[in-house]
Amino acid sequence: MKLLLVEDNVELTTWVANLLRAQNFVVDCVADGEGADTVLTTQHYDVVLLDMRLPRMSGKDVLSRLRRRGGNVPVLMLTAHGSIEDKVDCFSAGADDYVVKPFDARELVARIKALIRRQVGEKSTQLTCGDLQYLTDTREFRHQDAPLALRRREHMILEMLILHQGKTVSKNSLMASMFSLDEEPSADAIDIYIHRLRKHLANSSARIMTLRGLGYILRSNTQ
Assess contact for 130 and 221: CB atoms under 8 A.
Answer: yes
Angle at 30 between CA 115 and CA 89, to 5 degrees: 55
Give 11-48 pLDDT, tens digit per residue.
Answer: 999 999 999 998 889 999 999 999 999 999 999 999 99
Q: How many CB atoms lie within 10 A of CB 179?
A: 19
pLDDT at residue 8 greater than cutoff 60: yes
- Domains delineated in the chain: 2-120 (3.40.50.2300), 126-220 (1.10.10.10)
pLDDT at 133: 93
Assess contact for 204 and 131: CB atoms under 8 A.
Answer: yes
Give 96-140 pLDDT, tens digit per residue.
Answer: 999 998 889 999 999 998 888 777 665 567 889 999 999 887 889
Instruction: Give the contacts of 42 (CB within 8 A, at least 6 positions apart).
Output: none
Which runs of consecutive H residues, i.e. helices, occur in the chain?
A: 10-21, 33-39, 59-68, 84-92, 105-120, 152-163, 171-178, 187-200
Mean pLDDT calculated for residue range 170-183: 90
Map residue 47 onto helix, strand or coil. Answer: strand
For residues 73 and 42, what is the distance between their CA atoms, to the nearest angstrom? Answer: 13
Assess contact for 208 and 157: CB atoms under 8 A.
Answer: no
Mean pLDDT calculated for residue range 46-66: 93
Q: How many residues does the chain have?
A: 223
